[in-house]
A and B are shown apart, each in its own frame.
Chain A
């Protein structure tokens, strides 16, 4: 069975410092993996997705994620945090049987000035 674990419920970083949001998954098959972002009072937006092409995936707003099969991880990173990055981030895996999405519990990213 597929599952997604986001290892931190909250991450707090200072503006201008690197961001690391951790995600581990379990899947019986080669998964598709996504990161979505949810800003307050706004709809969820796709940041990036992995679909068995390049293992390092670049997304919008300077974010990127690396698929590591041996570690079953898909961590999200950004070299330098900006105040506008403050939001909730969800790691998602696509189920193989009917392509439904399994969502992680989310990580709230807090940016300190």
Chain B
């Protein structure tokens, strides 16, 4: 069982609010990721990090920001939520060995609805 946690699991919030989605892992993994997934669709990478103080943008443009101050913690923040941000957000982590085939471990996801 992967030890990666996301809170909240479900969030309904009004337009214009600032929100932070939490992600923590206890496996000591260096690399962490945020994906966005719409129902019935593929995952799109929005942010990733190689380690502390490292953050990179993924292939899907996103208005969110991330930070990596501690190895185990990788929160995602939306400064001003909009209905277009309604989606499921998945956090993942992996060892960073430089190998092409590092397995990613996923959290249960946060389902965000912006009204």
| A residues whose Cβ falls under 8 Å from a Cβ of B | 4, 9, 32, 34, 36, 41-46, 49, 51, 90, 94, 96, 99-101, 103-106, 108
Contact indicator B107/A96 (Cβ below 8 Å): no
Counting chain B residues whose Cβ lies within 8 A of the other chain, the interface size class is 20 to 34
Q: Are A96 and B100 in contact (CB under 8 A)?
A: yes
Is B74 interfacial (CB 8 A cutoff)?
A: no
| Residue of B42, B58, B59, B100 touching A104 (CB-CB under 8 A) | B42
B58, A100: Cβ atoms closer than 8 Å? yes
Of listed A45, A51, A101, residue having the most chain B CB within 10 A: A101
In the complex, what's the smallest C-beta–C-beta distance from A37 to chain B, in angstroms? 11
Give the complex CA separation of A20 and B37 in angstroms. 24
Q: Is the CB of A105 within 8 A of B42?
A: yes
Contacts of B102 in A (CB 8 A): 99
A43: chain B residues at CB < 8 Å are 2, 4, 90, 105-109
Which residues of chain B from 98 to 115 have a CB within 8 Å of any chain A CB?
98-109
Q: 16 A–B contact pairs at CB < 8 A? A: A9-B40, A32-B100, A36-B106, A41-B108, A43-B2, A43-B4, A43-B105, A45-B106, A51-B101, A94-B100, A94-B101, A99-B100, A100-B59, A103-B42, A105-B41, A106-B41
Other than the given A34-B103, A100-B58, A104-B42, 13 more pairs (CB < 8 A) read A32-B100, A32-B101, A43-B90, A43-B106, A43-B109, A46-B104, A51-B101, A94-B100, A100-B59, A101-B45, A103-B42, A105-B40, A108-B40
Residues from chain B with a CB closer than 8 A to the CB of A108 are: 40
Would you call B101 and A101 a contact (CB within 8 A)? no
Give Cα A35 to B27, complex, Å: 22
Cβ B43 vs Cβ A103 within 8 A? yes
Would you call A46 and B103 a contact (CB within 8 A)?
A: yes
Instruction: Determine the residue in chain B with the shortest Cβ distance to A6.
Output: B42
Contact residues in A for B48 (Cβ distance below 8 Å): 100
Contacts of B41 in A (CB 8 A): 105-106
Complex Cα gap A41–B48 (Å): 23
Residues on A with beta carbons closer than 8 Å to the beta carbon of B108: 41-43
Assess whether B2 is in contact with A49, with CB atoms less than 8 Å apart.
Answer: no
Separation of A36 and B103 alpha carbons in the complex (Å): 10
